[in-house]
């Protein structure tokens, strides 16, 4: 049975390296996985005052999370931590706690950066936040894709052979992880 994976991209930039990598994951996924980017750009800031009467965008977003079998976070690192838009999206998905859309589902984290360490600080922060929201985060393989500019081909979209091989290996492990649930 095909598993639906919601990809949450932690960057809003039009030419985001993270979005490019997310699209590569979609292209490389086996027929057993249906990966789809769930947009976070239209989510207003989380505010507990409106939590019990949330805007339509929040409800639509939470429905997409509820319909997913698993989550893949693909994100940059900002100031050694999680991007604000991603943290906001995680809060909205997890509130109110009794209606936590993340709860009990498997997930994985990939961080992408033009820098050499590949967003390691953000990766670990996302893992901690996701675990707190009751996402069962895959421990291995860890995925820090650094020096991304050097790993994109001339089209600026697809990755080189070595990175593609790593991404396929990561997806195989993630599929195995998802199937454990």
Q: Which of 78, 138, 136 is nearest to 112 (CA)?
A: 78
pLDDT value, residue 12: 97
pLDDT value, residue 112: 97
**pTM beyond 0.95:** yes
Give whole-number Cα distances, 165 to 7, 29, 35, 149, 170, in Å: 20, 12, 18, 17, 9
Distance, in Å, from the CA atom of 71 to the CA atom of 135, rounded to the nearest integer, reads: 8
Distance, in Å, from the CA atom of 53 to the CA atom of 67, rounded to the nearest integer, reads: 21
Q: What is the mean pLDDT of each run of 10 residues along the chain (181 residues)?
A: 97 95 97 98 95 94 98 96 97 96 98 94 97 98 96 93 98 98 94
By the 10 Å C-beta count (0-12 exposed, 13-18 middle, 19+ buried), 107 is classed as: buried
Segment (H or E) for 91? helix 84-94
- The answer to whether 78 touches 122, Cβ cutoff 8 Å, is yes
Spatial neighbors of 10 by CB under 8 A, at least 6 apart, are: 18, 40, 73, 74, 75, 76, 82, 83, 85, 86, 122, 126
Q: Which of 131, 27, 147 is nearest to 73 (CA)?
A: 131
Instruction: Write out the two tokens for 140.
Output: 């291995």
pLDDT value, residue 52: 86
Distance, in Å, from the CA atom of 2 to the CA atom of 96, rounded to the nearest integer, reads: 29
Instruction: Write out the two tokens for 122.
Output: 């953000």
pLDDT value, residue 51: 87
CATH number of the domain at 126, please.
3.40.50.360
Number of separate domains in the chain? 1
Residue span of the structural domain in which 146 resides: 3-179
Q: How far is CA 126 from the centre of its chain?
A: 9
């Amino acid at each position: 049975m095909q598993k639906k994976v919601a990809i949450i991209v932690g960057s809003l930039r039009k030419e985001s390296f993270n979005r490019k990598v997310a699209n590569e994951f979609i292209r490389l996924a086996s027929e057993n996985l249906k990966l789809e980017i769930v947009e976070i750009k239209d989510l207003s800031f989380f505010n507990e005052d409106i939590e019990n009467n949330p805007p339509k965008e929040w409800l639509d977003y939470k429905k997409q999370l509820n319909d997913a079998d698993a989550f893949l976070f693909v994100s940059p690192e900002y100031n050694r931590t999680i991007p604000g838009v991603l943290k906001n999206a995680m809060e909205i998905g997890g509130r109110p706690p009794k209606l936590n859309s993340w709860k009990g589902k498997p997930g994985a984290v990939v961080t992408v950066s033009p820098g050499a360490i590949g967003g390691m600080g953000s990766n670990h922060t996302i893992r901690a936040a996701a675990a707190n929201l009751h996402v069962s985060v895959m421990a291995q393989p860890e995925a820090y894709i650094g020096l991304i500019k050097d790993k994109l081909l001339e089209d600026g979209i697809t990755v080189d052979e070595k990175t593609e091989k790593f991404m396929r290996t990561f997806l195989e492990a993630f599929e195995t992880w998802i199937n454990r649930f």
